[in-house]
Structure 1
Amino acid sequence: MSQPGAEQGTPDVGDRLASVLRPVRAGNGFEEALEQVLQVVRLGLVPSGERLPAERDLADRLGISRVTLREVLKVLQEQGLVEARRGRYGGTFVLPRGHTTGEDELRRRLKGIDVEDTLRFREVLEVGAAGLCAAHGLTEEQADRLRDALARTHDAPLTEYRRLDTMLHLTLAELSGSPSLTAQYAAVRATLNDLLDCIPLLVRNLEHSQQQHTALVEAVLDEDAEASREIMREHCSGTAALLRGFLG
């Protein structure tokens, strides 16, 4: 006899998830997969106490490896949103919704903030700054500033990472040669940091961000404006996916 959460419930769950889960893009696979699974949980598409679809099913729906999916599920476990159970009727089960300090603080900070506007404006400024730096070229002194800002993020302890990440992006804005762009970016980044400070630092995401940072700096120094803009656009998209996921 089947028990609650056994396989006979999975097709119904799968039907409910069809409108949310979709193959992610290669560039931000972890971030976009996390966004989608967080949406599933926060929207209640899998009710409290029920099991998420099997790892193979979820990985296939998202177009990611099971290794990446397990990293996504680990984040959800650390946030107290799901729990893993072993045994014949085991799997990953959705826990009752709680309200962590982080969630409460995040929602307090959200008051009066148009998140989508903030994310889109940030992308416009960052993509524009990267393109300008590459198109106009940097002096050797400017190139050294950019390399140094990148190196500091690589060596940063977790407690300092977001501050040094901000400095790298602000350096790129300053090197664009537009004081107006720099001022606007500083303002939008301050708003963005208020939101980022309320979500956890995810090691997988930081590693991915560092890869993108390195590729971005290389493209700027190679004076490849198109590649610089595209890498920055994808980088901003990854951050936006994380925030949308945690904002629910």
Structure 2
Amino acid sequence: MPLWRPVRGGNAFEITVSRLAQAIKLGLVAEGERLPAERELAEKLQVSRVTLREAIRALREAGYLESRRGRTGGTFVVSRAGRPPAQPRGSAGRLAPLASAPEAGSVRAGRAAPSSGSSPARGRSGRKSVTAATVTPLARRGDAAELAREMGDALHDALDFRRVVEPGAAGLAASRALAATDRQHLVACLTASRDRDPATRRVADSRLHLAIAGASGSPSLVAAVADVQLTLDRLLAAIPVIKRNLDHSDAQHGRIVDAILAGDPAGARSLMEEHCDGTAELLLGLLT
């Protein structure tokens, strides 16, 4: 099966989730059918069994897969679209987009209006799930498919545009001699972006990306990244929040800011490209 080709690149978890989701959506593994055995699938994808298990766990909690025990057990496809997850009571169900573009030309760009979000995902027992790949549903799976159809080719265009703009902004920021206050602001935005509260996570994440663009000193880049983040917010609101992906994102953010502060343009650009690629893999796997 072509989708079982070896995973390459620095975003093994996201690519594995994408490959599995695409295989399910394309019907290559039909509803009710079992995925290949874990060892076989890990060998075909050339990923660790830990990575594979976490990808399967993420898709299980998102409603695509089900694990069964016993002699005839394994991991089975239960839905090609994912179950529409129940929204927690009192939740708005998805994060609000940024209110407006930031003030151009400032490293402190990126102020956004407060947003509402869903509460942490809970298991059947009512307790918060603490598995390694915990997902928090922000929208119904039908919304994701509808959004992908609505955007059409614009989905790929938006992700391609981001991959050009944001790495360029990071590289330019690293090439500049930043004032102490600007460096402190980047570090403060980085710290805030690690917040896992679903009501504030996306806004804090966007503020970091906008602060990086602001550090480039280019008002045009700030405006472009603001547009990118507005689109990205809508896309990410249509897929589950996966804890392992957040872990990756936090680590990548840290390395990007470190490269900027160290004055390493090539490193900052490359790290931001890897970050954009990981997000794109996840989005394309779950939206299309």
TM-score, L = length of structure 2: 0.77
Find the residue that maps to 1:20 and give its secondary structure.
Answer: helix
The one-letter amino acid paired with 1:51 is R
User: Equivalent residues in 2 for 1:16-35 (5 A)?
Assistant: 17=1, 19-35=2-18
User: Equivalent residues in 2 for 1:69-148 (5 A)?
Assistant: 69-98=52-81, 100=84, 102-110=140-148, 111-112=150-151, 114-148=154-188
Q: What is the CA deviation profile of residues 84-136 of structure 1, one whole-angstrom value per residue up to 9, with x for unaligned ones?
A: 11111111111143562522222343414511110010111101000001112
Q: 1:234 to 1:96 in 2, by over 3 A?
A: closer
Asked if the contact 2:65/2:78 (under 8 Å) is kept, the reply is: yes
Asked if the contact 2:14/2:281 (under 8 Å) is kept, the reply is: yes
Tell me if 1:206 matches 2:246. Answer: yes
Q: 1:171 to 1:106 in 2, by over 3 A?
A: same
Separation in structure 1 between the aligned mates of residue 42 and residue 33 of structure 2, nearest angstrom = 18
Separation in structure 1 between the aligned mates of residue 71 and residue 190 of structure 2, nearest angstrom = 48
Q: 1:47 to 1:129 in 2, by over 3 A?
A: same
User: Equivalent residues in 2 for 1:145-160 (5 A)?
Assistant: 145-160=185-200
- The equivalent of 1:41 in structure 2 is 24
Asked if the contact 2:3/2:23 (under 8 Å) is kept, the reply is: yes
- The equivalent of 1:231 in structure 2 is 271
- The equivalent of 1:61 in structure 2 is 44
For structure 2, the 5+ residue unaligned runs are 85-138
- Structure showing greater radius of gyration is 1
Separation in structure 1 between the aligned mates of residue 151 and residue 29 of structure 2, nearest angstrom = 31
Question: CA offset at residue 26 of structure 1?
Answer: 4.6
- The equivalent of 1:7 in structure 2 is none
Question: CA offset at residue 157 of structure 1?
Answer: 2.1
Asked if the contact 1:156/1:164 (under 8 Å) is kept, the reply is: no
**Identity within the alignment, %:** 45
Question: CA offset at residue 156 of structure 1?
Answer: 4.3
- Bigger mean CA deviation after superposition, 49-58 or 101-110: 101-110
Question: CA offset at residue 137 of structure 1?
Answer: 2.7
Question: CA offset at residue 68 of structure 1?
Answer: 1.2
Separation in structure 1 between the aligned mates of residue 79 and residue 51 of structure 2, nearest angstrom = 25
For structure 1, the 5+ residue unaligned runs are 1-16
Separation in structure 1 between the aligned mates of residue 79 and residue 208 of structure 2, nearest angstrom = 39
Asked if the contact 2:24/2:80 (under 8 Å) is kept, the reply is: no
Between Structure 1 and Structure 2, the one with more helix by share is 1
TM-score, L = length of structure 1: 0.89
Q: 1:109 to 1:62 in 2, by over 3 A?
A: same
Separation in structure 1 between the aligned mates of residue 50 and residue 151 of structure 2, nearest angstrom = 38
Number of corresponding residues:
231
The one-letter amino acid paired with 2:49 is R
Separation in structure 1 between the aligned mates of residue 65 and residue 172 of structure 2, nearest angstrom = 44
- The equivalent of 2:112 in structure 1 is none
Separation in structure 2 between the aligned mates of residue 241 and residue 123 of structure 1, nearest angstrom = 12
Separation in structure 2 between the aligned mates of residue 53 and residue 157 of structure 1, nearest angstrom = 36
Tell me if 1:180 matches 2:163. Answer: no
For the aligned residue pairs, the C-alpha RMSD in angstroms reads 1.5
Find the residue that maps to 2:66 and give its secondary structure.
Answer: strand
Find the residue that maps to 1:93 and give its secondary structure.
Answer: strand
Find the residue that maps to 1:158 and give its secondary structure.
Answer: coil
Asked if the contact 1:82/1:93 (under 8 Å) is kept, the reply is: yes
Separation in structure 1 between the aligned mates of residue 200 and residue 43 of structure 2, nearest angstrom = 36
- The equivalent of 2:236 in structure 1 is 196
